[in-house]
Chain A
Amino acid sequence: MNLPVEAVLRPRDLGEALSMLAEDPSAVPVAGGTDLVVQLRARRRHAPVLVDIGALGLDRIAVEGNALVIGAAATMDSIARSAAVREHAPALATAAGQVGAWPIQCRATLGGNLANASPAADTAPPLLTAGATVTAAFPSGQRRIPVLDLFEGPGTTRLAPGELITSVSIPLDPVPAGARRVDRFVKLGPRREQIISVVSLAVRAALLADGTLADVRIAVGAAAPTPVRAPAAESVLEGRPPGGAARREAARALQEDIAPIDDIRAPARYRRLAAAVLLDRLLGEISHG
């Protein structure tokens, strides 16, 4: 079936793309289109003009200075397979490798996954725990927005009209001497593959030589109107070993951090229990090395 799209513009470079987006408030950027095309086809979203940003060279993945920088048009497949991502942000690599099916991963992009602002976006929790920022460009410049501040609600971001995510930057924060970086992601759904997360969870922390956790960051997907950090659970775990009593206390505290609803994919009660179980198990795995 045809899409209700009047024009697809193909800018030659980023500058032209930004002008096109700035000039026409109805223009929407498209890269992989794996979310957008479905929404257009179902008339859930109106976008008479599309600006193709898939061929602007925005797909680089590289360490630049003390950050891992991933272009907005980098595909899930390239992120999942990138040695740099696997080294510095293994949870993100795991998440990217579990988005939809492999054909989807070969088209879907990181910028699109964030701009689509699904509460269940698989790359959001590992980016939240990594303290990532997005670079948003506009004709007269660019600004950096922490991923934490990017999401406003289901399907909405705090990007201004005409702003385009061009890259995502993950700081390379080294762990203290003798410590081990822990960076994990897990998603849950009723079948083994090709699922939209019913709950997803990312944990990033330093496991110190004395067996305690430091700089604990936890994020949860599909359990609130946006992907969220879990400060209550984080503070329970800070400075404590991941095993033992802290596990259950953290799972309990996590309930304060999330606000799931009943929807077609699962009831809120299930999401709460599942989030607790996922956190408990991740902590168990961390404590067992």
Chain B
Amino acid sequence: MAEPLGGRHPRPDAVMKVAGSARYVGDLALPGMLHAAIVAAPGAPARVVSLDLEPARAVPGVEAVLAAGDVPGANLVGTIFPDQPLLVEDRVRMVGDRLALVAARTPEAAWTAAAAVEPELEPLPGVHDPVEALEPGAPVVHESGNLVRTFRVRRNAGGDGAASAPVVVEAEYRIGGQEHAYLEPQGCLAIPESRSRITIVASCQCPFYVQHAVARVLGLPLASVRVRQAHTGGGFGGKEDYPSEVAACAAVLAFATGRPVRLIYSREYDLQATTKRHAMVVRHRWGADTDGRLLFAEVESFLDAGAYVGLSTVVAERANVSAIGPYHVPSVKVDTHVVHTNNLFGGAYRGFGAPQVTWAHEATMDRLARAVGVDPVEIRRRNLLTGESCTTCTGQELPSPVLAGACLDRATELAAAWTGSATVAPSPHLRRGTGVALVLYGCNLHHGGQFLDRSSAVVILQPDASAIVRVGLTEMGQGNLASAQTVAAQALGLDPSRVEVWEPDTATVADSGPTVASRGAHSTGLAILDAVRRLRRRLDPVAAGLLGCAPGEVELADGVARVAGDPSRAVPLERVLGEMTARRIETIATGWWRSRPRWFDEATGLGSPYETYAFACHVAQVAVDPELGLVRVEHVAAAHDVGRILHRDAIEGQIQGGIVQAMGWGLLERLELDRGRLLNPSFTDYLIPTASDTPEISMALLEDAPGAGPFGAKGIGEPSFIPTAAAIRNAVCDALGIEIDRLPFTPPVIVDALGTAHPFADLLD
């Protein structure tokens, strides 16, 4: 039997999902179940003049119509700040704000009833740009003002370098948001039992967030709210905090009617109302010496949070400390503003603020390379963190080995070795370009979120030497079941097919925090290892008895317990478990993990925001058709500092998916707004890449710098996304010989950037 670690054994959820037997929320129905719909505000901001719900109540099949006053507990959602009502009372702040909830016997009746309500709204002046929102006299979204918070880094700021740098580049980057485009829209099923307890089955990343939100709106103890994660058809951050709102709606209706209530969003409402990657404006002023060695970096960023705080402050925390990338910079000044507007709701999305600032710092590095007259790869090599100069943006010293340079080397080697595209024919209309981008990714939660950085697991060994594993972090397609299964199988010496990992249920494990920040495999795996460690205190003596050795000599591998150093002395684990069962020895154990405390000063932004870091480098090779503004990404070379590979298919899938998703953000995906209303709320007009747009991908997975995760693993979910769009940006600018500073690079943006240099521009004179 091959060792599970680093293998390609079948992912446990693959067949059920591909074959269609996995049951998602939309496949679940219960007798008497009602369907929910939302009365949503069509415009914002506005004052609610009146809300007549009778037209909804008059629709046949409607069982309940609820307004703000009908919420039994607190009329409040919002994960961090109590600024967002479940149901609006008097003030609409964003398009899609909920005014009332409907439950009916069919989804059609529910949505028809919701549409029958015509709220009387008095429009108020809105604000739709995060920079303008901070100007004096701008309309305010909340009375507390539009500036939610500013995060800072000050390290030798204003030192000699800033005054005397011979080469200074400045730029303003306007970076668009992004829709998660998960295959399965938001949805959940709420099952009440009398009015004392409730079960929620939710498509979600963070069942414990949902548990808290439902307990709050129902006024129940946490213990009375059970949340089971349903199979979840994609999350990417879009099912981090938002499902709490969906579940709160369904739960309130379920308690009002006493019946199960299912709420499933239409794609249009999902696109309009749910969270998005933040649109950002990033301003740079960076200086270097004449060799291109960085002397100072000044970054000022504005995150468009939309009307509610949501997770924006947490996103900004990561954006703030990621602002200068994996470079050694003696003097650093970073300001990261979180700003309210009446635009879309900014929130969590794979990369969590880092992709935007990375896009900016990698654009600036290429600018500097051109200003100094050195190659973009060479200027990075001169500035990358190394074993000798390894002080991050926040002044954190990184332990050796530091793989930034190794990632750059491996990715550029893979790019150089690529022999050309089989799919793009040579054409006189195409110009080719190459771009490079690097990221320094802080693994797991930022210092500010460390109180959530914990994880619970339960392992139950069965008499037939199979194992049930209960975990607190979710599977949403990223491979958490596969990595958890691999870790448990490796630790127990079992074949992975003998380990069944079940999706989280808040009634079986302790609050394990959110499944975010590339922490799934890390947190889940370490909690499982802790549980196995505790189980072995009982298992090893039994095995030792059968083997005739000391308990400390027992090792588990290949489905047997054996004597370390003498593998011929072995006994099948099934026999060990049979013996434990016969002797009624406890075969269940819990496991727990929490991250180590560390120091970080919020006022200066100095310290250790993260425990460990992962580096990555992507090199994009593109073919640009400048006359039509079309970009074909032909090849992406990706080198990642992964610590240790747990499951090879899962990690490669993450990297491939991250690259394609980031390519969509960089080139295609536009959230077109008219005063906060999304003008393209469909996949007809919000375009994401198709399979035929995907580039060829080459990978190097570097296992030379162990992380703090199980067996040395580091997170991969976010670093796989973060550098790609920046590398593509640099490749396109390399091909065209111009700078383009707004994302996405849609064909009209590229053609516009060429201006009168477009060969047909004179035709329009």
Residues of A within 8 A of B (CB): 1-2, 42, 188, 190-196, 198, 248, 251-252, 255, 264-267, 269-270, 272-274, 276-278, 280-281
Contact = CB atoms under 8 A, between A and B. Distances in A.
A118 to B, nearest CB: 12
A264 B680 contact: yes
Interface stretch (B323-331, B451-459, B755-763): B755-763
Nearest to B629: A270
A281 B748 CA distance: 19
A266 B108 contact: no
B763 A190 contact: no
Closest 7 CB pairs of A and B: A270-B748, A2-B108, A277-B627, A276-B760, A192-B692, A193-B692, A252-B763
Report the interface size class on chain B.
20 to 34
A194 B679 CA distance: 19
A272 B763 CA distance: 9
B685 A265 contact: yes
A266 B628 contact: no
Interface string B732-754: 00000000000000111001100
Contacts of A198: 747
Which of B429, B679, B751, B758 has the most chain A CB atoms inside 10 A of its CB?
Answer: B751
Interface in B684-739: 684-685, 687, 689-690, 692-693
B132 to A, nearest CB: 22
A203 to B, nearest CB: 17
A37 to B, nearest CB: 13
A34 to B, nearest CB: 11
A194 B692 CA distance: 10
B62 to A, nearest CB: 15
B760 A273 contact: yes
Contacts of A251: 760, 763
B760 A277 contact: yes
Given A248-B763, A264-B685, A280-B760, 12 more contacts: A2-B108, A190-B687, A192-B692, A193-B693, A195-B687, A251-B760, A270-B748, A272-B763, A273-B758, A273-B763, A273-B764, A281-B429
Contacts of B108: 1-2
B763 A276 contact: yes
Nearest to A252: B763
Interface string B621-663: 0000001111010000000000000000000000000000000
B167 interface: no
A255 B693 contact: no
Nearest to B685: A264
B266 interface: yes
20 contacts: A1-B107, A1-B108, A188-B628, A190-B667, A190-B668, A190-B746, A190-B747, A191-B693, A192-B690, A193-B693, A198-B747, A252-B763, A255-B763, A264-B679, A264-B685, A273-B758, A273-B761, A273-B763, A274-B628, A281-B429
Given A191-B668, A192-B693, A251-B763, A266 B266 contact: no
Contacts of A190: 630, 667-668, 687, 746-747
Contacts of A1: 107-108, 111, 266
B761 to A, nearest CB: 7
A270 B751 contact: yes
B345 to A, nearest CB: 21
Max chain B Cβ within 10 angstroms of own Cβ: one of A2, A270, A273, A276: A273
B672 interface: yes
Nearest to B694: A192
Contacts of A193: 690, 692-693
A190 B629 CA distance: 9
A1 B684 CA distance: 18
A220 to B, nearest CB: 14
B764 A191 contact: no
Most B CB contacts (10 A, CB to CB) among A251, A255, A278, A281 go to A281
B160 to A, nearest CB: 47
A19 B60 CA distance: 34
A191 B628 contact: no
Contacts of A192: 632, 690, 692-693
A272 B693 CA distance: 25
Given A191-B689, A265-B685, A270 B760 contact: no
B764 A272 contact: yes
Contacts of A266: 747-748
A273 B693 contact: no
Contacts of A255: 763-764
Central interface residue in B268, B672, B747, by most chain A CB within 10 Å: B747
Nearest to A198: B747
B628 A277 contact: yes
A217 B532 CA distance: 76
A265 B108 CA distance: 31
Nearest to A277: B627
A170 to B, nearest CB: 29
B631 to A, nearest CB: 9
A269 B765 CA distance: 11
- Residue among B106, B108, B693, B763 having the largest count of chain A Cβ atoms under 10 Å: B763
Contacts of B679: 264
A47 to B, nearest CB: 17
A143 to B, nearest CB: 34
Interface string B254-291: 00000000000010100000000000000000000000
Contact of A191 (B627, B687, B752): B687
Nearest to A274: B628
Contact of A196 (B628, B684, B758): B684
A87 to B, nearest CB: 25
B44 to A, nearest CB: 20
Given A196-B684, A264-B685, A191 B760 contact: no
A267 B760 contact: no
Interface in B79-125: 106-108, 111
A195 B764 CA distance: 26
Contacts of A264: 672, 679-680, 685
A218 B626 CA distance: 24
Nearest to A2: B108
Contacts of B758: 273
Contacts of B690: 191-194
Interface string B286-311: 00000000000000000000000000
Nearest to B632: A192
Contacts of B746: 190
Contacts of B684: 196
Contacts of B689: 191
Contacts of A248: 763
A38 to B, nearest CB: 8
Nearest to A3: B108
A284 to B, nearest CB: 9
Which of A191, A251, A272 has the most B CB atoms < 10 Å from its CB? A191
A191 B748 CA distance: 13
Nearest to B115: A43
Contacts of A267: 748
Contacts of B685: 196, 264-265
B725 to A, nearest CB: 15
B59 to A, nearest CB: 13
Interface string B663-678: 0000110001000000
A269 B680 CA distance: 20
A269 B667 CA distance: 19
Contacts of B687: 190-191, 195
B524 to A, nearest CB: 36
Contacts of B763: 248, 251-252, 255, 272-273, 276
A273 B680 contact: no
Nearest to B264: A1
A274 B627 CA distance: 7
A81 B708 CA distance: 57
B134 to A, nearest CB: 29
A149 to B, nearest CB: 29
Contacts of B429: 281
B624 to A, nearest CB: 13
A107 to B, nearest CB: 16
